[in-house]
Structure 1
Amino acid sequence: MRSLLMTLLLIIVAVMIYSEVTGGEDGMNRQLEQSGHHMGDGIRRMSP
C-alpha cells in the first residue's frame, strides 16, 4: 500500500512539473509559437 501511494504521488508530481514547463506565459508552447511567428515573418520578407 505504501509503494502504491508513493507511486501515485510521484506520477502526480511529474504531471504537475510537465504542466508548468509546457504551459503558462513563459512555457515551451508559448516560446514555440513566438518562434514560429518570427520565422513566418522572416519568410514573408524574403524576395524571390
Structure 2
Amino acid sequence: CADVYPLTREIMDWFGAHYLNDPAEAADTRVSPMNEADLSGLAPAIVVTAGF
C-alpha cells in the first residue's frame, strides 16, 4: 500500500528516514508492534479507519 494516493513510496521512505535513526530500528517492537508475539501488556486501543 505504499503507492496509494496520497502516500507514495517516496513519501513513505521520507517518513521512515525521519522517524528512525537507523533502518534496523524498524524491527523494534516499539516501532512495529506487529512484530511482537505477545501484546498482553499493552493498553487497550481503538483504531478507526475510513476510506476517501
| TM-score, normalization by structure 1 | 0.30
Q: Which has the higher helix share?
A: 1
TM-score where L is the length of structure 2: 0.28
Larger radius of gyration: 1
